[in-house]
Amino acid sequence: MPGKSHSAYRCTECGASQPKWAGRCDACGEWNTLVEEVVARTAKGRGGAGARGHGGPAPVRLGDIAADAAPRWKTGLAEFDYVLGGGIVPGSVVLVGGEPGIGKSTLLLQVAARLEAAGVPTLYASGEESPEQVRLRAERLEEDTDGVPVLAETVLERIIEQAGVIGARVVVVDSIQTAYTDALEGAPGNVGQVRECAARLMRFAKEAGPAVLLVGHVTKGGGIAGPKTLEHIVDTVLYFEGENTLDHRILRATKNRFGGVDEIGVFAMTAAGLVPVANPSEAFLAARHAGISGSAVTALMEGTRPLLVEIQALASKAGFGTPQRVSAGLDHRRLSVLLAVLERRARLPLAELDVFVNVVGGMKLTEPSSDLAVAAALISSVRDRALPPEALFLGEIGLGGEIRAVSAADRRLAEAARLGFRRAFVGSRTSLRGGAAPGLELVRLEHLEELAHRLAA
Ligand code: TYD
Ligand code: MG
């Protein structure tokens, strides 16, 4: 071992390093941001011959590198492979984050079972559950899990050692919060431990070549293990989300060194584990009752795939005081803007109404392309008049009430046509490269007022 390890303390806010722990960072003045970390080598050792000695890799011309240098292991769980960009890349570290109980352990056990069955040696290291508990979960699954080696271990060095002993090519660590390295004094789960364990697994993956799948619990703030530093270390970050009351779960790539970000995969949680949903739009619209006022459908782009979702609005007479504005899946401020624009530009009387907006299925509206659908749902609710069935709404609304075109309109419209939609209300400048989708009548709108008129006719 070159040099001897010792500890230092790094600020998770500004990155400054200091030799002693303090409640407050000297450099930026933030409180409670210093975490312990291992300094592996002395400055001299780092500058001179490192662990690799003088014979480190030589530069290679880009043209001389084989393009398909990274083969991937496909699990056969279609949506999982898709979100990763076509399967697991050897030597990569993937973090799977999500709230407790969402199904992370189930997903990764299924992944391990599929890989093992396909001849890729795996190791499922669980620091959260005993082998018996893992076995109980396995019994519910339809997968053939018998061949998966399970290790109940929290000491990271031993997990890595065992992975080497059995020659595992894919190592699952469930979870990073229970993993522990002797190099640091802090308890498992503290930021320093989590970061150091992730960094060690990263080194293990890069040097020995197996892929590592890490489970990370999401904290109340929504981040994995507090600061975002863990996300910077790993190659790929997947979030597993969904509402506990609903059966479907969404796997979303928020970082991916080997594929696209914002791609999603949809699964259904069944009594026999997670089943990929082949037709997500259909699943999201399954519970919809056409003919009810306040319901409108729009098409979101999730990565490169279009997804149809239902937006529900309810406007009802407010009691005393300031009317309520409550939204789920739509940014609060965006709703306020849309309400103000509807009131001023389309003369929709909203000032004395409580307004509730909900995106069905736990999806979030992150792009303004869904503005028109929110407006249509609100108009429909205020008038208590259902929107035309089989109509799609696609457009961004400006402060003047003008309706703007959205990106990737052709892909969104094609998805709507595929699901039997007949009419699409869109911004007048919407450009369609591949021509209109078959069977879909386009209603081009300049202004919100036109929408209000059209829907009254
Ligand atoms: P789990 O994978 O333990 O979640 P996490 O690791 O993210 O904490 O799954 C938790 C839930 O999934 C649990 O409430 C039971 C449910 N479940 C099913 O509905 N079907 C199944 O086949 C399995 C294994 C779990
Ligand atoms: Mg778990």
Nearest CA to ligand 1 atom 10: 101
Tell me the β-bridge partners of 313.
357
Nearest CA to ligand 1 atom 18: 271
Tell me the β-bridge partners of 124.
150, 172
- Residue 65 Cβ < 6 Å to ligand 1: no
What residues does each domain of the chain span?
1-44, 72-278, 283-456
- Residue 137 Cβ < 6 Å to ligand 1: yes
Whole-angstrom Cα distance, residue 330 to residue 359? 7
Strands lying side by side in the sheet with 93-98: 150-152, 122-126, 170-174, 211-217, 93-98, 236-241, 248-256, 264-270, 273-276
CATH 3.40.50.300 given to domain 72-278: yes
Q: What is the pLDDT of residues 10-38, one digit of tens each?
A: 887 777 888 888 888 888 888 888 888 77
Whole-angstrom Cα distance, residue 145 to residue 117? 8
Which pLDDT does position 69 carry in this prediction?
Answer: 58
Q: Which of the listed residues 148, 176, 269, 275 should we mutate to test ligand 1's pocket, taking the one with most ligand atoms within 8 A of CB? A: 269
- In angstroms, what is the span from residue 106 Cα to ligand 1's centroid? 6
Which pLDDT does position 50 carry in this prediction?
Answer: 43
Which pLDDT does position 413 carry in this prediction?
Answer: 95
> Which residues in the chain show pLDDT less than 50?
1-4, 42-52, 227
Name 362's Cβ contacts closer than 8 Å, sequence gap at least 6: 241, 242, 243, 246, 250, 329
Which pLDDT does position 67 carry in this prediction?
Answer: 65
- Residue 362 Cβ < 6 Å to ligand 1: no
Q: What is the pLDDT of residues 335-354, one digit of tens each?
A: 999 999 999 999 999 999 99
Q: What contacts 24+ positions apart, CB below 8 Å, involve 440-444?
A: 440/413, 440/416, 442/413
Tell me the β-bridge partners of 39.
6
- In angstroms, what is the span from residue 435 Cα to ligand 1's centroid? 45
Which pLDDT does position 44 carry in this prediction?
Answer: 44
Which pLDDT does position 68 carry in this prediction?
Answer: 62
User: Which ligand 1 atom lies nearest to the CA of residue 215?
Assistant: 6
* Residues near ion ligand 2 (Cβ under 5 Å): 105
Which pLDDT does position 43 carry in this prediction?
Answer: 44
- Under CATH, what is the fold of the domain 283-456? Ribosomal Protein S5; domain 2 (3.30.230)
Nearest CA to ligand 1 atom 13: 101
Which pLDDT does position 20 carry in this prediction?
Answer: 85
Which pLDDT does position 225 carry in this prediction?
Answer: 57
- In angstroms, what is the span from residue 274 Cα to ligand 1's centroid? 9
Instruction: Please indicate, yes or no, whether the overall pTM of this predicted structure exceeds 0.75.
Output: yes
